[in-house]
Structures are given as structure tokens and as C-alpha cells.
Amino acid sequence: MAPSRTRSRFIDGPIADYAADHSTGPDPLQQDLQAVTAERTGEMARMQIGDDQAVLMELLARAMGARRAIEIGTFTGYSALALVRGMGPEGRLLCCDVSEEWTAIAQAHWEQAGVADRIELKLGPALDTLRELPGDAVFDLAFVDADKTGYPAYYEELVPRLRVGGILLADNTLQSGRVLDPADQSPDVVAIRAFNDTIAADPRVRVVLLPIGDGVSVIQRQ
């Protein structure tokens, strides 16, 4: 499998290629993770974030000095690897997923990267995991890339647990552009359309929706 580079459907192809050529690319371990994901998950490999999004997440975690992060939806661990590398040796990441098969790929590569001791994996419904956290559990950074109809509930659980200035990254918030089509009433699109409207009007946060990948909303707790 070739490196993911960008998964954006919204940026002109030559511009996307130029941007990728002038951005930090994946290292050999990340390339191997991409290849294994493609081999073992088939068409589902499209759920893996692109290289541009991965390096953005790593840089963001490092720039904000994040030490405690949570991820809702881990798949084969590429995004988690980006986050935990950005947080450095003192960082700790809680990953929530329901697939033992896919997260086994993640765990093997986290071990190879030497970061497995910084990541706690919780298998089971993410809402249950969130609601079972101690009342004083606070995060610097959160990443949501799971079932789209669950985004509103994840958001309401996570925002109160973000420190002031903390950031929540929500993936797939453009839904291949289908959010613009009022005739599209598929459950995922309806849920994301409502989610986008909610966060844009929420006085607790500031948000910018970036057209990389399938849309990434960067949401900061005020």
C-alpha cells in the first residue's frame, strides 16, 4: 500500500500533492502499519487517517504540551501513535474501541514503536468507558473518530472533561461533502450535520472545520 498522504476530497489534486511533498511523511514503522492495515482489513483501511492528518495531530499534541489524551475509535492505531508521539514520554493516552481484532494490530505496532506503556486500551462501548471515568478525570486533548451517530453523546461527555484551552478533534465532519445536500438523510450525515450545527453554536467552545481528510473539526474549550 502506498503512503496515505492526504485523504482530502476537497483540495485540488496538484495542490494536495505539493502540500504532501513539502510536509513530513510517515516513517518506516508508520508505513508498515499502513501496509498491514490494508492487508488485514481490506476496504475498511479507508478508515485510517491520512499522513497529513497524522502529522497535524502529532504537532498539535506537542505544541500544546498535552500530557493526558483520550481517543474514541482507535481502529489499527495510526492516530493513537501520532498522538502519543506528540505527547512524549510523560504523556498518557486512553484509547476506546470495540474491536479486539483491529486493536491487536495497533498494539503490535505500539510495541514496535516503544510507546505501548503510555497507552491504555479499553475495549467496549466508549460511552460506558467515559461514564465510568473518575469525576476528576480531565484531558488536554481528545480525538473522536468512531460511529457518527454517537458523536453528539461523545461530545457532551468530553467537553466537560477538557481543561480550559483543551482541544477536541472530531473526524469526518464533512461526510464526503454530503453535509451540504439536504436531500441526504442517511443516519451518519444527519448526525454529523446536527453535530456541526451544535458545536458552531456552543458558547463553551471555539471551532474551526478544516477540509483535510474527510473534514476535521478543531474544537477548543473556552
Confidence band for 205, pLDDT divided at 50, 70 and 90: very high
Confidence (pTM): 0.95
Segments making up each domain of the chain, as ranges: 13-221
User: What is the pLDDT, as a whole number, of residue 4?
Assistant: 52
What is the model's pLDDT at position 11?
86
Among the listed residues 132, 139, 95, 141, the one whose alpha carbon sits nearest the alpha carbon of residue 116: 95
% pLDDT > 90, the chain: 91
DSSP 176: G
Give one DSSP letter per residue of 130-142, joined into a string.
Answer: HHTS-TT--EEEE
* pLDDT category of residue 2 using cuts at 50, 70 and 90: very low
Residue 167, judged by CB atoms within 10 A of its CB (0-12, 13-18, 19+), counts as buried
- The pLDDT, as a whole number, for residue 13 is 85
Q: Which CATH superfamily is domain 13-221 in?
A: Vaccinia Virus protein VP39 (3.40.50.150)
Look at residue 125 and tell me whether its pLDDT is greater than 80. yes
Please give the pLDDT value at position 219: 98
Question: pLDDT by residue (tens digit) across 162-201?
Answer: 999 999 999 999 999 999 999 999 999 999 999 999 999 9
